[in-house]
Amino acid sequence: MGDFYELFYEDAEIAARTLGLTLTSRDKGSTNPIPMAGFPYHALDGYLQKLVRAGIRAAICEQVEDPKKAKGLVKREVTQVVTPGTLVDDALLDPRESNFLACVFPDRDRLGLAWLELSSGRFVATDVTLNELADELARLRPAECVVPEGWEGEDRGARSAERGKASTTLNSQLSTLNSLLTERPPWSFVPNECRRRLLAHFQAATLDGFDLDADSPGVTAAGALLEYVQETQKAALGHITRLEPYRRSTHLVIDETTRASLELTRTMREGRREGSLLWVMDETVTPMGARLLSDWLSNPLVDVEAIRRRLDAVEELSADAVLGRELREQLERGYDLERLTARVGTGRASPRDLGCLARTLALLPKLKAKLAGRRSELLCALEAELDLCPDVRADVEQALVDEPPLATTEGGILRPGFHAALDELRDLARGGKEWIAAYQAREVQRTGIPNLKIGFNRVFGYYLEVTAAQAAKVPADYIRKQTLKNQERYVTPELKEHEDKVLRAEESAVSLEQELFQALRERVAAHAPRLKQTASVLAQVDVLAALAVLAVKHNYCRPEIAEDPILDIRDARHPVLDRLQPSGEFVPNDVMLGVAGRESERANIEHSTSNIERRTQGPPAKDKAQSTKHAPLSTLNAQLSTLILLTGPNLAGTSTYIRQAALLTIMAQMGSFVPARAARIGIADRVFARVGASDELGKGQSTFMVEMTETARILNAATRRSLVILDEIGRGTSTYDGISLAWAVTEYLHDMVGCRTLFATHYHELTELTQTLKSAANWNVAVHEDGEQIKFLHKIVPGAADKSYGIHVARLAGVPPSVVERARVVLETLEADHLDERGRPKVPERPTRARTQRQLALFGGEHHPLLDEIRELNLEQMTPAAALQELQRLREKLER
Ligand code: ADP
Ligand code: MG
């Protein structure tokens, strides 16, 4: 509405709430005033951002004809629909995160899944099962997901149960992922129509060239998705150049739970990037690189050769620090070519965007020269693929001024000399202004009014202004237009005529400039596929160079990638904890799992001597774990196990240890070096992690049910090539139930699946299992005991733990001393099997209240200063380690 965007009725109410606008109304006097809210047009970006963040779709209506020429109401049209999944504007996107739009189409027993990143043009289709759908959505975290309207209620036949299940899963998942569900009419999903639409967009006769099965539900999903995007964008979308098939078998499959519990790209509790593996790995210098790194981490490879190619490149770059630095310097100076190209493709690139695009292209020749003549295959291939796009660059550089504006509506976009007609119009406009100045001088002379001035406003255009005192001197040919307090304003036919010329010239210059700019943008858009390829090369070079920096900075080693299912890592560190703890404090550990091939056996023996030395001189002589039942390392190497049962007290580091084995596998398969001294890593087809009891109450399932569902899934889906890490399964039920389940699960994984398995458990009973399982071993975490004082060494050593130290931890946690003492007595009795004839423990008599009084004095009677300190602890913000430290400090205070 002129200079304002306005909203009415319900929209106005929503906007007022979401954007904090004042809700007013139109037709106030009437019985039915219309609710109304609005904001000035230049504030659009900020308000759009808020709307989209709130998960709201917004249709933008613009005036599409010149209000001056319009008869009656100015014509308006929807020019763009902005939705969370279809963003391309920089202001609305996080530069380091991809923004996906997904589409799900249920078809009998399969589900079609397509996804598009409009801001890069990447468009992918696949078919999935219901379980796989959950995994893929967890991986993509789409901002928005398109589904057929009413698909859960529709056709109650044999299939409706499956569909109902699918839609329930999808709904609950989308709400956890915070993504918007968009329903589209069923006719958007008619398979033939969908195929036709895709063919028309790609101007292809068949989809064979894309290596896609045209009848698959994935293709239908892709077609429906494309329709939605065409409708919301109202642009050509030339940067969407192909539809890629996605095959799970070419990637390391990581299911939803595993992804979450390993905290690959965000943390489990807060869902933030900080604290995740991605966060510690990200050394990229461009947003394109940051997004690609996240993509690599979310989709590690399984092809040994492909992984080696990446590792070769990382190795070459880490060995040549100068090369790495120089490449990164160039990359850093460029702009986000991928998203710039997308904005060109959707017709939304500003003059400044094109300027940035040309500047980025200008950096390429240097970059290409640096990449030339490298050893590694991948760097050579990237060099060859790097299209400098000199024609595009020249076209833009010749046209645009050096500092192009953001807006296309104010002129000043194109260089003088670029277009003759434009130059002429500009001269005319400028000349017209000169004429006005001369005319003013002439009129001052003619009328003898020294302070006669020529002014301009939007309503009257140019006018002659005379002070009231001089009005008598005004000649007869002046036509009075307006009387102000102290001035009179006039026009003359001569002035009007020139005004027309000037304004027309100015207007024509601006609209010609707009046209020429649009043509330029379209010419550039025609090269979108080349620009996209170049952007992809830049992103890859950035990621490889970043991985090299990471490796050098933190002393990572190149993993040896093997086909056989082995995991042999020396001095492995947890990539995140290693960085969060003060340098040198993290205790590295070895991982040895799998069926040793001849080659790796040799490697083992070579390493083992040094390990033995380190261990024997390690902990002090009094160390109990050291002195008890450790298998000699030599026997261990002879029979490498596929399954390790890891026991250790709480807080000893068992969870950390088993997670790091999975994390390093994933890092290696994405092509990264790993935090270890040496590593030989056999390709895993899947990684499963069942870690900790996560709170799934929000999903309406009991924790134990969730745990068993996940366990079932692992047992059903794991293969001999998988890596399984289990953290305390069977804890959500009674002890005997739990132990029995854990026991049977362990046997099954060992006997039937034969996958590499790390199982951390507090059930010591399970350590007995290794006596019957051929290829299983007990390991535990070394503990240093000195009387009552216990120190966790975080060192993983062979053998079963013989104590759980739970009572010790309870004391650390501040359980009253009398309770701790009582627990110790009960434990001793239980461990000694002191049961009476009715099977009840023969526990010594309970202490009376009088006897405990003395010990409770601290927290009872008088006020103790420590109490206040404890009350003020900000427990929500503390890590377990910090909490322990704090406890330690409090205790020291108490002992002083
Ligand atoms: P568990 O699962 O055995 O109860 P965690 O693996 O959760 O123990 O580790 C508890 C804490 O111990 C971690 O938060 C970390 O601070 C510390 N920790 C674990 N492993 C190590 C290690 N290898 N080196 C140093 N500190 C460690
Ligand atoms: Mg644990």
Residue to mutate, 263, 650, 651, ligand 1, most ligand atoms under 8 Å from C-beta: 651
The β-bridge relationship of strands 723-727 and 686-690 is parallel
C-alpha pair distances (Å), 526 with each of 346, 349, 452, 519? 12, 14, 55, 11
What single DSSP character describes residue 43?
G
The ligand placed nearest to the CA atom of residue 651 is 1
- pLDDT of 854 strictly over 80: no
CA distance 7 to 5: 7
For residue 654, give the ligand 1 atom closest to its CA: 3
CA of 858 to the centre of ligand 1 (A): 31
pLDDT category, 526, cuts 50, 70, 90? very high
At 707, the amino acid letter reads E
For residue 760, give the ligand 1 atom closest to its CA: 2
pLDDT value of residue 737: 83
Residue 583: exposure state from Cβ atoms within 10 A (0-12, 13-18, ≥19): exposed
The rounded mean pLDDT for the chain is 85
pLDDT value of residue 602: 40
CB 649 within 8 A of CB 800: no
pLDDT value of residue 627: 34
- pLDDT of 620 strictly over 50: no
The β-bridge relationship of strands 789-798 and 479-483 is unpaired
Report whether residue 805 contacts ligand 1, using a CB cutoff of 6 Å. Answer: no
The distance from CA 44 to its chain's CA centroid, rounded to whole angstroms, is: 26
pLDDT category, 622, cuts 50, 70, 90? very low
CB 875 within 8 A of CB 869: no
- pLDDT of 36 strictly over 80: yes
The ligand placed nearest to the CA atom of residue 880 is 1
The ligand placed nearest to the CA atom of residue 806 is 1
CA of 794 to the centre of ligand 1 (A): 7
- Mean pLDDT lowest for which of 394-408, 419-433, 499-513, 829-843? 829-843
What single DSSP character describes residue 39?
E
The β-bridge relationship of strands 589-594 and 253-254 is unpaired
Report whether residue 654 contacts ligand 1, using a CB cutoff of 6 Å. Answer: yes
pLDDT value of residue 496: 87
pLDDT value of residue 569: 95
- pLDDT of 692 strictly over 90: no
- pLDDT of 278 strictly over 90: yes
The pLDDT tens digits for 454-474 are: 988 877 788 999 998 888 888
Mean pLDDT of all residues in 882-894? 86
Nearest CA to ligand 1 atom 2: 655
pLDDT value of residue 9: 93
- Mean pLDDT lowest for which of 121-125, 297-301, 434-438? 434-438
CA of 151 to the centre of ligand 2 (A): 42
Report whether residue 647 contacts ligand 1, using a CB cutoff of 6 Å. Answer: no
Render 729-772 in DSSP notation, one character per residue.
TT-SS-HHHHHHHHHHHHHHIIIII--EEEEEES-GGGGGGGGT
3-state secondary structure of 143: coil
CB 129 within 8 A of CB 137: no
The ligand placed nearest to the CA atom of residue 693 is 2
The number of beta carbons lying within 10 Å of the beta carbon of residue 263 is: 21
Report whether residue 675 contacts ligand 1, using a CB cutoff of 6 Å. Answer: no
Q: Quote the crossing angle between the two packed helices 337-345 and 351-371, to the nearest 10°.
A: 140
**Closest Cα to residue 259, out of 691, 713, 664, 880?**
691
Residue 55: exposure state from Cβ atoms within 10 A (0-12, 13-18, ≥19): middle
Q: Sheet containing 101-107: give its strands across.
A: 180-184, 144-148, 101-107, 110-117, 122-128, 244-245
- Token pair 């010749």 is found at 398
CA of 822 to the centre of ligand 1 (A): 28
The distance from CA 39 to its chain's CA centroid, rounded to whole angstroms, is: 32
The pLDDT tens digits for 746-795 are: 999 999 999 999 999 888 888 888 888 989 999 988 888 777 677 888 99
Question: In the structure encoding, which two tokens stand for residue 389, read together?
Answer: 């796009």
Cα-flanking dihedrals φ and ψ of residue 60, to 5°? -100, 125
Q: What angle do CA 617, 619, 620 make, to 5 degrees?
A: 95
Of 741 and 626, the one with more pLDDT: 741
CA distance 438 to 451: 15
Question: In the structure encoding, which two tokens stand for residue 2, read together?
Answer: 């002129």
In 273-426, beta strands by DSSP E: none
CA distance 522 to 347: 8
For ligand 2, a single-atom ion, the residues with CB < 5 A are 655
**Closest Cα to residue 182, out of 124, 132, 233, 143?**
143
pLDDT category, 625, cuts 50, 70, 90? very low
CB 37 within 8 A of CB 16: yes
Residue 380: exposure state from Cβ atoms within 10 A (0-12, 13-18, ≥19): middle
Q: Which residues contact 151 (CB under 8 A, 6 or more apart)?
A: 106, 163, 167
pLDDT value of residue 162: 65
Nearest CA to ligand 1 atom 19: 653
For residue 795, give the ligand 1 atom closest to its CA: 23
CA of 655 to the centre of ligand 2 (A): 4
Nearest CA to ligand 1 atom 18: 653
Report whether residue 880 contacts ligand 1, using a CB cutoff of 6 Å. Answer: yes
At 22, the amino acid letter reads T
Nearest CA to ligand 1 atom 11: 651
Residue 299: exposure state from Cβ atoms within 10 A (0-12, 13-18, ≥19): middle
Of 831 and 535, the one with more pLDDT: 535
Q: Which helix (H) or strand (E) holds 483?
A: strand 479-483
For residue 879, give the ligand 1 atom closest to its CA: 14
pLDDT value of residue 71: 79
CA of 37 to the centre of ligand 2 (A): 54
- pLDDT of 892 strictly over 80: yes
Of 210 and 165, the one with more pLDDT: 210
CA distance 556 to 575: 10
Task: Tell whether the torsion through CA atoms of 672, 675, 681 and 683 is positive or negative.
Answer: negative
Report whether residue 655 contacts ligand 1, using a CB cutoff of 6 Å. Answer: yes
CB 179 within 8 A of CB 54: no
Mean pLDDT of all residues in 526-537? 95
The β-bridge relationship of strands 58-63 and 487-491 is unpaired
Report whether residue 718 contacts ligand 1, using a CB cutoff of 6 Å. Answer: no
Residue 779: exposure state from Cβ atoms within 10 A (0-12, 13-18, ≥19): buried
CA of 871 to the centre of ligand 1 (A): 26
Cα-flanking dihedrals φ and ψ of residue 100, to 5°? -105, 145
Which of the listed ranges 387-401, 416-430, 635-649, 818-832 does the model predict with the highest average pLDDT? Answer: 387-401
- Mean pLDDT lowest for which of 25-29, 186-190, 554-558, 685-689? 25-29
The β-bridge relationship of strands 566-572 and 678-682 is antiparallel
The pLDDT tens digits for 108-158 are: 778 999 999 999 999 999 999 888 888 899 899 999 999 998 776 544 444
The pLDDT tens digits for 583-611 are: 889 999 999 998 644 444 444 434 443 33
- Mean pLDDT lowest for which of 99-103, 173-177, 200-204, 397-401? 173-177
CB 560 within 8 A of CB 681: yes
What single DSSP character describes residue 720?
T
**Closest Cα to residue 731, out of 760, 752, 700?**
760
Q: What angle do CA 701, 703, 705 make, to 5 degrees?
A: 65
Q: Which residues contact 857 (CB under 8 A, 6 or more apart)?
A: none
The pLDDT tens digits for 406-417 are: 988 888 999 999
pLDDT value of residue 67: 75
The distance from CA 269 to its chain's CA centroid, rounded to whole angstroms, is: 16
Of 711 and 279, the one with more pLDDT: 279
CA of 657 to the centre of ligand 1 (A): 8
CA of 792 to the centre of ligand 1 (A): 9
- pLDDT of 635 strictly over 70: no
The pLDDT tens digits for 82-101 are: 999 998 888 888 899 999 99
Cα-flanking dihedrals φ and ψ of residue 101, to 5°? -110, 125
- Token pair 């050291």 is found at 626
pLDDT category, 848, cuts 50, 70, 90? low
The ligand placed nearest to the CA atom of residue 692 is 2
Q: Which helix (H) or strand (E) holds 446?
A: helix 420-447
3-state secondary structure of 235: coil
Mind spelling out the 3-state secondary structure of 630-666?
A: CCCHHHHHHCCCCEEEEECCCCCCHHHHHHHHHHHHH
Mean pLDDT of all residues in 821-832? 78
Render 800-823 in DSSP notation, one character per residue.
------HHHHHHHTT--HHHHHHH
pLDDT value of residue 256: 87
CA of 203 to the centre of ligand 2 (A): 56
Question: In the structure encoding, which two tokens stand for residue 112, read together?
Answer: 């079609």
pLDDT value of residue 600: 41
3-state secondary structure of 451: coil
CA distance 766 to 703: 22
Of 395 and 29, the one with more pLDDT: 395
pLDDT category, 808, cuts 50, 70, 90? confident
For residue 728, give the ligand 1 atom closest to its CA: 2
Ranges of H-type helices in 54-202: 130-140, 160-177, 191-202
Question: In the structure encoding, which two tokens stand for residue 311, read together?
Answer: 């590792």
Question: In the structure encoding, which two tokens stand for residue 139, read together?
Answer: 């991986």
The ligand placed nearest to the CA atom of residue 885 is 1
CA of 551 to the centre of ligand 2 (A): 28
CA distance 721 to 385: 35
Nearest CA to ligand 1 atom 10: 651
Q: Which residues contact 104 (CB under 8 A, 6 or more apart)?
A: 111, 112, 113, 133, 145, 146, 147, 166, 170, 221
Nearest CA to ligand 1 atom 23: 587
- pLDDT of 619 strictly over 80: no
C-alpha pair distances (Å), 800 with each of 747, 760, 763, 766? 18, 11, 11, 10
Report whether residue 656 contacts ligand 1, using a CB cutoff of 6 Å. Answer: yes
CA distance 728 to 708: 12
- pLDDT of 343 strictly over 50: yes
pLDDT value of residue 702: 65
CA distance 268 to 583: 24
CA distance 474 to 640: 109
User: Hey, what long-range contacts does 735-738 have (CB within 8 A, 24 or more apart)?
Assistant: 735/763, 738/763
- pLDDT of 857 strictly over 80: no
Q: How far apart are the first and last CA of the chain?
A: 75
CB 86 within 8 A of CB 118: yes
